Amino acid sequence: MPSADEIREAIKEVVDPEIGINIVDLGLVYDVLPNPETRMVDVNMTLTSPGCPVGPEITSAVWMTVKRLPGVKDCEVNLVWSPRWDPTEHASEEAKMFLGIW
């Protein structure tokens, strides 16, 4: 079973198609919770806005990415809206530079 860090690294391949940055660096992934006993992974994440038109595409991509990792039986992607996503607080330094946030 992969660790939370390994799963988070795998999720970096999921890019927000509207912004062009992976969702981990954007700070959209809040928690990655692997359970070695059940081989289940819970991913708690948010979107850039509650009405994000590509939300279903992003959550589906996260689910497929995690599900195909060795040792993972299933994955649940939970959308959470608290804390509200704020790129000045949640995005990586690289993402902030790309977005023009100083």
pLDDT digits 0-9 by tens, 40-97: 999 999 999 999 999 999 999 999 999 999 999 999 999 999 999 999 999 999 999 9
Residue 58 has what pLDDT? 99
For residue 102, pLDDT over 80 is answered with: no
Buried b (16+ CB within 10 A) or exposed e, 50-64: eebeebeebbebbbe
Domain-wise residue ranges, the chain: 4-80
> How are strands ordered across the β-sheet holding 40-45?
29-35, 40-45, 74-79
State if pTM tops 0.75: yes
For residue 6, pLDDT over 90 is answered with: yes
Between CA 14 and CA 26 the distance in angstroms is: 11
Helix (H) or strand (E) holding 16: strand 15-16
The fold of the 4-80 domain, in CATH, is GMP Synthetase; Chain A, domain 3 (3.30.300)
